[in-house]
Structure 1
Amino acid sequence: MADKLYFVIPCYNEEEVLPETARRLQEKMHALIKSGMISGDSRVVFVNDGSGDRTWEIIRNLHEKDGLFSGVNLSRNRGHQNALLAGLMTVRPYCDMAISMDADLQDDINACDRMLEKYYSGSDIVYGVRSARKTDTWFKRTTAEGFYSLMKHMGTNTVSNHADFRLMSRRALDGLSEFGEVNLFLRGIVPMIGYPSDVVYYERAERFAGTSKYPLKKMLSFAVEGITSLSIEPLRIISQLGIAVFLVSIAILIYSLIRYAMGATVPGWTFLAISIWAIGGLILLALGVIGEYIGKIYLETKARPRYLIREFLDSEHGFDTDKPRNLTRKDKYPFHS
């Protein structure tokens, strides 16, 4: 018997693209079920990450018209990584495998067939990796390549040109559930799980509709999040820089003493000013990096929930908040992490 597949699609203000995404996923699911690659109990789960438009209304309507579609509604906006984790952890008890992808249709839905083949061949994790960046601007292509290069040099184990388009088996999802970080960077956490993995290459399309949810500022923040969540290399760089500055200061001290002994002392105002500004800048930079890590420690020690789920539309498993029921608070909000 074929295994049960759940698609997990994080959504944030995706009302423009969601109907088309649902149509294409519906066609793909029916084709996969008909071919016998997946079970007829497979589902598509849209995760509403506190959208301010009609996204959740559309998800509700899709669920009412076709039981193939399910929905998870977070209590508020928690960010893409938390929304994705919320979806994966919610479907984990019900599926044999899950495929995560974005709602903007840039990920190639047809690549899922090859992912399933890799899964049935024994891979617990199958990464969707971009074969080229033809649709990107020069700036985005250059910054993306720089991002992956920087992550590699900082000691973080990520898959180059891979975002969050991946297949994970139930065993891999169970492994992911053991990671309790509040500061999430799934692109670095998933490779840490360590089960057999493989790669499927695909060409990434242009966004079907709407606007990108990752402008430059957010991308830079995401890069900092990834580095500081998974690597202590920046702290080591600060230590190395401190040693280098200390060695330079000793050399300057020896030079100054020799000049003093030779009676050739010079006021050296320019050199002194430059030294003060340079060392002051390095100190502030070091404090900023250390502060970033202290801030993450602060958030981790609080152990606040990474997400809270307000509603889960899934009538198959007896939990469908679209239908009137006498729910206790515990019944209505059973999912949180």
Structure 2
Amino acid sequence: MISVVAPVHNEGAGVERFVARLADVLAGAGLAYELVLVDDGSTDDSWNFVVAQAALDPRVRGLQLSRNFGKEAAVLAGLEHAAGDAVVVIDSDLQHPPEIIPEMVRRWRQGAHVVEAVKRNRTGQGLIGRVGGRAFNKAFTGLTRVDLVDATDFRLLARPALEALLRLPEHSSFFRGTSSWIGFRRSTVEIDIAERVGGRSRWTFGSLFRLAVNGLTSFTSAPLHLVTMVGLGFAAFAVLLGAQTLIRWIGGDSVAGFPTVILLLLVMGTFLLLGLGVIGEYLARIHEEVRGRPRYLVQERAEHSVVPEQWARAKR
């Protein structure tokens, strides 16, 4: 059996469309599956649709988080409650095509432990999403040596890879990065990102920026090293400028340069503030880790009368 994990946030009636299309694809392919829908603190009637689908179909189960913990926490909740031999993570807005899942399962049965869907296009994304996403993935790959170029969260994890992922202790998780970092035998399939079937994207520039900062600070200390290197560069430049000024003064030349000094102060002040911001992000990450709070809290479950063993253990 495979498990399909889909985070849900303010999708409303889109939940019903997603479940119906997924059922058509997987049933048509003859796959035994369960669907774990994780409501990440929706403020609309999404949870009612999840409950209704769980009542109609024993393969559908729902988790309602106590508030909006973010997509990463919702994905983690679904992974920890998945009972399948392989788990597929997919967005519930149908931008990730469910029709690719049978091919992912085929690759898994051929021996792959992680099957990643990579973007062939970015049709369903706005300009900021396309440019920002491509820039972040390339920067992340260059700084961490973890390949995220054109990567998505749409991927299949075999049980060994999933258990390795769930053993990672950090509080601030970044699923796309950690599921690539763990290694294991991998395979990729290309997908076209579709337009949203209903509504509009919940991602804003601010939320995408926070995700990027979380991903980088969770994986690499390169920004801290960059602050150090730029600081050393400024120090070297200051020594050279001081030496030049001293030589000119000894030679009897007038030493002017008030505008230059002001410009240097502005540049250095800007860098100092950015450096403090980078250090602050890492301190905030350390603070989150040492507090040891749960990464998510489950408020309610929606399930059919047949409860898999994994869910029974989770209740205890």
With the shorter chain as reference, the TM-score category is over 0.9
CA distance in 2, matches of 1:73, 1:192: 29
Pairing partner for 1:30 from 20, 27, 30: 27
CA distance in 2, matches of 1:253, 1:313: 70
**1:69-100 deviation line (CA, Å, top 9, x unaligned):** 11111121100010011001111xx2111111
CA distance in 1, matches of 2:105, 2:44: 34
Amino acid at match of 1:23: A
1:308 is matched with 297
TM-score, normalised relative to structure 2 = 0.94
Amino acid at match of 2:193: R
**1:100-146 deviation line (CA, Å, top 9, x unaligned):** 10010011111111101100001111001111224444443222221
Q: CA 1:228/1:254 → structure 2, altered by over 3 Å: closer, same or farther?
A: same
TM-score, normalised relative to structure 1 = 0.88
CA distance in 2, matches of 1:90, 1:28: 23
Whether contact under 8 Å (1:45, 1:72) holds in the other structure is: yes
1:290 is matched with 279
Q: Does 1:160 align with 2:141?
A: no
Segments of 5+ residues of structure 2 without an aligned counterpart are none
Amino acid at match of 2:234: V
2:121 match: secondary structure = coil
Amino acid at match of 1:81: E
Q: Does 1:11 align with 2:1?
A: no
2:42 is matched with 51
CA distance in 2, matches of 1:266, 1:275: 16
Whether contact under 8 Å (2:95, 2:194) holds in the other structure is: yes
Whether contact under 8 Å (1:310, 1:333) holds in the other structure is: no
CA distance in 1, matches of 2:170, 2:37: 23
Amino acid at match of 1:195: F
**1:246-272 deviation line (CA, Å, top 9, x unaligned):** 110110111011011011132422122
Pairing partner for 2:53 from 45, 49, 62: 62
1:154 match: secondary structure = helix
CA distance in 2, matches of 1:138, 1:24: 28
Amino acid at match of 1:171: P
1:146 is matched with 135
Whether contact under 8 Å (1:151, 1:227) holds in the other structure is: yes
Give me the identity figure in percent. 29
CA distance in 2, matches of 1:113, 1:240: 48
Segments of 5+ residues of structure 1 without an aligned counterpart are 322-330
Whether contact under 8 Å (1:74, 1:308) holds in the other structure is: yes
Query: Which segment is superposed worse, 124-133 or 307-316?
Result: 307-316
Q: CA 1:74/1:156 → structure 2, altered by over 3 Å: closer, same or farther?
A: farther
RMSD: 2.0
Q: CA 1:239/1:161 → structure 2, altered by over 3 Å: closer, same or farther?
A: same
CA distance in 2, matches of 1:157, 1:318: 35
